[in-house]
Amino acid sequence: MAGYYVIVASASRARFFNLRPREIPEMESGPNLVEEDKLENLEGELPDREVFSSPKSGRHRDPVGGSGAGHGYDDHRQEHRRELEKHFAEKAAEKAVSSAKQAGAEKLVLAAESRMLGLFRPMFKEMEKRGIELIEHDADLVNYSTEEIHRHLAKRQLLPEKKPPRR
């Protein structure tokens, strides 16, 4: 069986898993997905009022006595959020590649929503040159249990199914 390493990620969290084969097939079910680490992007979960100094974006109000016609402006909040997500994706990708290599994985399964997949994709190009196959799955599984993640990915044939002990 090829070695698998799994990362499930969102804009605010990344979880890293190794798929470990069963040691005693007659007595253990397996293979087993084992969570090894996680990263959190604390700024990714904060509301705008916690990240930015001014509470509103998009419209400037005229002072009292003005014409009453405010003007719109772009304070680049969305751009800033995207930069935070990109930085987090870079950090998570670096950790995933390092851990996958250390685990001897031949396949890295990346499950994330499409926006995050787009951020991760260029970062994994180098990994594929080193012989680790990238398998992408467009789904936000970061809040699923380890068992649910394994079942979800196995159902879509992205990981081997967990089998009962051989008796």
Of residues 122 and 17, more confidently modeled: 17
What is the model's pLDDT at position 5? 95
Is 134's pLDDT higher than 60? yes
Q: Tell me the per-residue pLDDT of 45-91, one tens digit each, with 9 for 90 and over.
A: 544 444 444 555 555 555 555 555 555 555 567 787 788 889 999 99
Judged by average pLDDT, the poorest of 34-38, 68-72, 129-133 is 68-72
Measured in Å, how far apart are the chain's first and last C-alpha atoms?
21
Kindly calculate the radius of gyration of the chain based on its CA atoms and give it in whole angstroms. 21
DSSP strands (E only) in the chain: 4-9, 13-20, 32-40, 59-60, 71-72, 107-112, 133-138
- Please state the separation of Cα 150 from the chain's center in Å: 15
Residue 105 has pLDDT above 70, yes or no: yes
pLDDT digits (tens, 9 = 90+) for 108-129: 999 999 999 999 988 887 777 7
Q: Domain 4-155 belongs to what topology?
A: Nucleotidyltransferase; domain 5 (3.30.420)
pLDDT at 165: 78
153: β partners: none
Q: How far apart are CA 122 and CA 118, in angstroms?
A: 8
Concatenated DSSP letters for 9-39? E-SSEEEEEEEEPPS-TTT--B-EEEEEEEE
Q: Identify the pLDDT of residue 49.
A: 47
Average pLDDT in the chain: 81
- Does residue 21 register a pLDDT over 90? no
Cβ atoms of 111 and 151 within 8 Å: the answer is no
Residues in the chain: 167
Instruction: Characterize 47-80 residue by residue with b for buried, 16 or more Cβ atoms within 10 angstroms of its Cβ, and e for exposed.
Output: eeeeebeeeeeeeeeeeeeeeeeeeeeeeeeeee
Average of per-residue pLDDT across 7-36: 86
- Residue 140, pLDDT > 50, answer yes
Report the pLDDT value the prediction gives residue 118, as an integer from 0 to 100.
92
